Chain A
Amino acid sequence: SQKIEQNSEALNIQEGKTATLTCNYTNYSPAYLQWYRQDPGRGPVFLLLIRENEKEKRKERLKVTFDTTLKQSLFHITASQPADSATYLCAPYNQGGKLIFGQGTELSVKP
C-alpha cells in the first residue's frame, strides 16, 4: 500500500541553523509533491510545490528537493528563526486528484 514517512520525532535546532526535514514515500509515483506548514489549532498552509521533473525549488529561506529515484523529498529552512517553529507536512500527489499527507514533523527553533 502507499506509505508516506516523515521524521516522527520532533526536530529541535538553534536559531540561525539550517533545519532539514525528510519525507520518504513508497508505492507511489507522484507527479508532484507539496509541503505545508501547520501551527497548533490551525489548518495547514501551503508552502511549496515541486514537480517530478524538478530537482530543487527555492522560496526565500526555503528549499525543497525531490529525488524520484530515492523516493524522497528534503525540506530545508536556512537561517531558522523561532517563528519557523511549527509542524511541517509533506504531501505527494498521485493521479486522481486526492492529496495524501504524511504525519508531519514538529520543528522547534530555540533562540
Chain B
Amino acid sequence: GAGVSQTPSNKVTEKGKYVELRCDPISGHTALYWYRQSLGQGPEFLIYFQGTGAADDSGLPNDRFFAVRPEGSVSTLKIQRTERGDSAVYLCASSTGTHLTGELFFGEGSRLTVL
C-alpha cells in the first residue's frame, strides 16, 4: 500500500507558538519512530513507539516536545512554545517491529521553520 505519510510537508510558525506534526505509518507496522534532521547532519533520534506506548523517549530534547500514538497507528509530534532552534526537518519512520530485519521506512519529512 502507500508509504509513510507526513503532514504538513512545510510549516512556518512564530517563536512561542504551538505546532503539531502528523505521521501516518504503513498499515500494519507496529513500530514508529520520530527523528529530527538539521542541515548537513544525520537524523537525530527523538522517540520510538511500539504499538501505543513510547518504548524509548530518551531523544526528546526537553519537556516542550511530546508525542502520542493513541491507537497504535497515526502519531502526532507536539511542540510547545517553539524556539528558533527547533527549526529542522522532522522525519517519521515505521517498521514491522521485528528485529530480524529492522528496516525503517521513512516519510518525506515535515520541514519546520520557526521565525
Interface residues of B (CB under 8 A from A): 4, 31, 33, 35, 40-45, 48, 50, 55-56, 58-59, 91, 93, 99, 101-109
Contacts and interface: CB of A to CB of B under 8 A. Distances in A.
Contacts of A101: 35, 42-45
A98 B106 contact: no
Interface string A1-44: 00010100000000000000000000000011010100001111
Interface of A: 4, 6, 31-32, 34, 36, 41-46, 49, 89, 93, 96-104
A96 B56 contact: yes
A103 B41 CA distance: 5
A24 to B, nearest CB: 14
Nearest to A89: B42
Contacts of B105: 46
